[in-house]
């Protein structure tokens, strides 16, 4: 299991709420068969897809095999055409505590 946070943000004028082209793109993305998309990009599980409409940010958390394939997905799907996208490796809090405990042993 390898967790990644996919952090995105866009400008207000590029927001799908305000921009018809991006709105149409997002509706199209939302209708994709995610099982097929995940299989193609080696995403084992989507943990969550969270959006803050008025902050114009989003955070998706996925369990995936290859961050380069996540990058490819963001470009292919069009998300990266109007969002800054950061793909960040994540660990769970318990793993942080384990790591910290081992540092002083």
Distances (CA, A) of 76 to 17, 80, 100, 102: 21, 8, 39, 41
Q: Of 17 and 99, which has the nearer Cβ to Zn ion?
A: 17
Stretch that binds Zn ion, among 12-20, 64-72, 76-84, 86-94 (CB under 5 A): 12-20
Secondary structure (3-state) at 8? strand
* Residue 101, H or E segment: helix 93-103
Cβ 16 to Zn ion, closest distance in Å? 6
Cβ 63 to Zn ion, closest distance in Å? 26
CA atoms within 13 A on the CB side of 71: 7
2 binding Zn ion? (CB under 5 A): no
Stretch that binds Zn ion, among 19-27, 39-47, 50-58, 73-81 (CB under 5 A): 50-58
């Amino acid at each position: 299991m390898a967790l990644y946070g996919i952090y995105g943000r866009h400008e207000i004028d590029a927001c799908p709420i305000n921009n018809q082209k991006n709105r149409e793109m997002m509706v199209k993305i939302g209708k994709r068969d995610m099982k097929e998309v995940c299989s193609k990009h080696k995403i084992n599980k989507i943990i969550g897809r969270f959006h803050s409409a008025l902050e114009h940010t989003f955070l998706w958390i996925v369990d995936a095999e290859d961050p380069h394939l996540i990058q490819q997905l963001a470009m292919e799907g069009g998300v990266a055409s109007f969002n800054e996208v950061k793909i960040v490796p994540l660990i769970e809090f318990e793993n942080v505590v384990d790591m910290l405990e081992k540092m002083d042993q």
